[in-house]
Amino acid sequence: MTESTLLSIEDVIVDLPTPRGNLRAVDRVDLTVGAGRTLGVVGESGCGKTMLSRAILQLLPKKAKLSGRVMFDGQSLLQLSPEKLRKLRGRSLAVVFQDPMTSLNPVLTIGTQLIETLQEHLELDMRAATKRSVELLAAVGIPAPEQRLTQYPHQLSGGMRQRVAIAIALSCEPKLLIADEPTTALDVTIQAQILDLLAREQRRRHMAMILITHDLGVVAGRTDEVAVMYAGRVVERAPTPALFKKMRMPYTEALLAALPKIDAAPHTPLPAISGRPPDPTRPLKGCSFSPRCRYAWAQCHVEKPRLEESDSPGHQFACFRPIDTSAGAGA
């Protein structure tokens, strides 16, 4: 990697106590993000994407147990005081959630929320903060921004609310933006506009981004690197072009195959993945994907494959029988 590492997480584990027993939401995840780069994190519902992003932000549920290391911009986040963390989250580490109402306060106007953030973190005076707020709203494509300042979140459409949440997240020029399914709740035309907006602002600000989604289509054209998660683990990780050129882990391949393709003829049967992910409170001894994997053999049911480097640079996968090898499946 030519650019400096901004975020590195090592051996991160998130355990959640539940009535059914311990739930390991994130299981020994290692990831890095370089300054100005985009990492896509893909996986099905419940695979641990949100818990991973909350672990980075140190915003886990109270009862959650976190271990491992999270280094951001030269500091170890697990060692920071709550006060320092709060400062950091407003400024250099920002987040946009799937539901914009998670980040917006329903009883405050858009203007108040933006202006307070700017005043607190950038120490601007009222006039400067107001001016900057209008600029930010205009930059995220909100028409008549001056008038919006006096409106409340419920007076805006879902797409507009997400734009406001993005404006607030971008307001202090963060070094890293974590976007957790920022467009999942939105229509496809609005989704494209929001993703364009994020990409444009990212380039302009040389900001790094983690784009979390369950849609392989969303990461394909918009990320430098992709990490695929399954049952709390990263099971494949590669530069985006390399991943789509040659998927090695059977789950990644199956996930792509199961997607309806716009250029396929109507009534083409989809290669569905049978079954569903394992119960996270009942971890499997072997590969988590083994009950659904058509390439599984005996070893897969008793031993967990580790994420290992392949012969292609930066391409890692966790599988005993990777696709397209003499030892593996599909060969």
Partner 1 sequence: MMQQALPAVSNDPLLDVDNLVVEYPVGNKIVHAVSGVSLQIARGETLGLVGESGCGKSTLGRAVLQLRRPVSGRVLFDGQDLTAMQGDTLRLMRQRVQLIFQDPIASLNPRRRIGDIIAEPLIISGVKDAAKRQKLVDEALSAVGLDPALVVGRLPHEFSGGQCQRICIARALVLNPEFIVCDEPVSALDVSIRAQILNLLEEMKARYGLTLLFIAHDLAVVKAVSDRVAVMYLGRLCEVGPSEQLFAKPAHPYTALLIEAIPVPDPDVRPAETVPVGEPPSPISPPSGCRFRTRCPRADQRCSDEVPELRAVASGQFVACHHPLI
Ligand X SMILES: Nc1ncnc2c1ncn2[C@@H]1O[C@H](COP(=O)(O)OP(=O)(O)OP(=O)(O)O)[C@@H](O)[C@H]1O
* x/- map, 231-260, ligand SF4, by CB under 6 A: ------------------xxx---------
- Using CB distances below 5 to 8 A depending on partner kind, what does residue 99 bind out of Mg ion, ligand SF4, partner 1, none? none
Residues 162 and 103 sit within 8 Å (Cβ to Cβ)? no
Q: Which of 149, 136, 80, 140 is nearest to 110 (CA)?
A: 149
249 DSSP 8-state letter: S
Residues 177-216 that bind partner 1 (CB under 8 A): 187-193, 195-196, 214-216
CB contact set of 164 (below 8 Å; sequence gap of 6+): 100, 104, 110, 113, 114, 137, 140, 142, 148, 153, 156
Residues 3-62 that bind Mg ion (CB under 5 A): 50
H or E segment to which residue 169 belongs: helix 158-170
Taking the complex as a whole, the smallest distance from the CB of residue 12 to Mg ion amounts, in Å, to 16
Residues 147-166 that bind partner 1 (CB under 8 A): 157-160
Q: Is 48 in the site for ligand X (CB under 6 A)?
A: yes
- Using CB distances below 5 to 8 A depending on partner kind, what does residue 31 bind out of ligand X, ligand SF4, partner 1, none? none
**Burial grade of 37 (CB within 10 A; 0-12, 13-18, 19 or more):** buried
* x/- map, 277-306, ligand SF4, by CB under 6 A: ----------x-xx--x-xx---x----x-
CB contact set of 284 (below 8 Å; sequence gap of 6+): 278, 290, 291, 301
CB contact set of 185 (below 8 Å; sequence gap of 6+): 98, 99, 158, 162
Residues binding ligand SF4 (CB under 6 A):
249-251, 287, 289-290, 293, 295-296, 300, 305, 319-321, 329
Please report, as ranges, the residues that interact with partner 1 according to CB under 8 A. Answer: 44-45, 141, 143, 157-160, 187-193, 195-196, 214-218, 220-222, 240-241, 244, 254-256, 258-262, 264-274, 276
